[in-house]
């Protein structure tokens, strides 16, 4: 095999020098995931944990009935609306 000769003093950058920290990769990934979990938990608590007003809270049985009810048949077209092409 031919080896490429490099001038002395020139080194290729190693992957380890491109990382931001000197921590082991597994620890770095774990810390990043924990940071993301903390941020997502904060955002959920700040914006989604409680309804904005008390009027927005619906009783559970009413929501279940609405979601599980059979869909009504399509409503007939409204005759008061003008048809396409007619004036």
26-62 pLDDT, tens digit each: 999 999 999 999 999 999 999 888 776 777 777 889 8
Domain-located, residue 38: yes
**Can you tell me the mean pLDDT for 14-34?**
81
Domain-located, residue 72: no
Range of the domain at 44: 24-49
Residues 51/57, Cβ–Cβ less than 8 Å = yes
pTM for the whole thing? 0.42
Domain-located, residue 19: no
Domain-located, residue 59: no
In the chain, the number of structural domains is 1
- pLDDT band of 22, cuts 50, 70, 90: confident
Cα 43 to Cα 30, 49, 54, 56: the distances in Å are 20, 9, 21, 20
Domain-located, residue 37: yes
Domain-located, residue 42: yes
């Amino acid at each position: 095999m031919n080896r490429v000769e490099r001038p002395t003093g020139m080194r290729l950058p190693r992957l380890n020098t491109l990382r931001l920290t000197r921590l082991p990769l597994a620890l770095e990934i774990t810390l990043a995931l924990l940071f993301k979990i903390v941020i997502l938990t904060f955002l959920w608590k700040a914006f989604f944990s409680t309804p904005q007003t008390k009027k927005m809270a619906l009783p559970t049985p009413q929501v279940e009935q609405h979601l599980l009810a059979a869909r009504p048949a399509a409503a007939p077209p409204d005759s008061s609306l003008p048809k396409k092409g007619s004036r």
